[in-house]
Amino acid sequence: ASDPRIPAISLPHRGAESYNNMWQKVRSIWMFVGQHYMDQFDYFFLGGDDLFVLPQNLRAYLSTLGDPNDDYFVGRRFKGYGRDNYFNSGGAGYALSRGVLRRYHQALVDEDPKCAPHATTSMEDVQTAACLRHLLGVGLTDTRDAQGRERFHPFAPGTHYTYKPKDDPNMQWYEDYNKEWGILLGKDCCSPETVSFHYIKKATMVRHLYKLLYHAEECRQYQKGGDSGT
């Protein structure tokens, strides 16, 4: 249901109300955004309700890209299984420039067959990238910082910081998806200019991250006071 207090808008979409129909939901979102907000913003960011975003870092990074009327499709690059299966992780969130959205919106409205208008799948990120690549010729942008550290993250901070290759067989896909450009480990996992972390599901996690990111100096002073016995 729509809730103007947030604000949240309930959008009709083709097919069932199901995670496995995420592609149709996202198609409806981009068509709505393109119709109503196209000329009001330079970039448009999509992410789920378990994504923690640092808006000041997102804004700062997007400002380095160039003319928003040009083609920019930015997020966390993955190379999935299969030929030419490059996409930006939906979990980590991704942004489209106004130039991309203008053409993408028209392709969705026209129900171009290269954009799978009737497909039912949870892999909206794969479908979005395929449409942009095959129909519009829009590829992915390397969003790492100058030291090769990632800005967009498909997992929570602790997962990235402690990740070890081959440590968990269930994470083999993650290694495979990053094989072309590699994964930096430990403190190099994440850029100081990080934009997003995925799988931040609990309110306590949100509060904890917020405190660490925006009030670290207060935490240090509190710790010093505790150490001195005050």
Q: Give one DSSP letter per residue of 92-143, joined into a string.
A: T-EEEEHHHHHHHHHHHHTT-GGG-TT---S-HHHHHHHHHHHHH-------
Q: Is the pLDDT confidence value at 218 over 80?
A: no
pLDDT at residue 226 tops 90: no
d(CA 230, CA 228): 6
Mean pLDDT of the chain: 94
How many other CB atoms are found less than 10 A from the CB of residue 77? 25
Contact 112, 12 (CB under 8 A): no
Q: Confidence class of residue 230 from pLDDT cuts 50, 70 and 90?
A: very low
- Compute the distance between CA of residue 61 and CA of residue 195 in angstroms, rounded to an integer: 8
State mean pLDDT over 73-91. 96
Report the SS3 class of residue 8. Answer: strand
Q: Which two tokens stand for residue 108?
A: 């969705």
Name the pTM for this structure.
Answer: 0.91
pLDDT one-digit tens code per residue, 124-177: 999 999 999 999 999 999 999 999 999 999 999 999 999 999 889 999 999 999
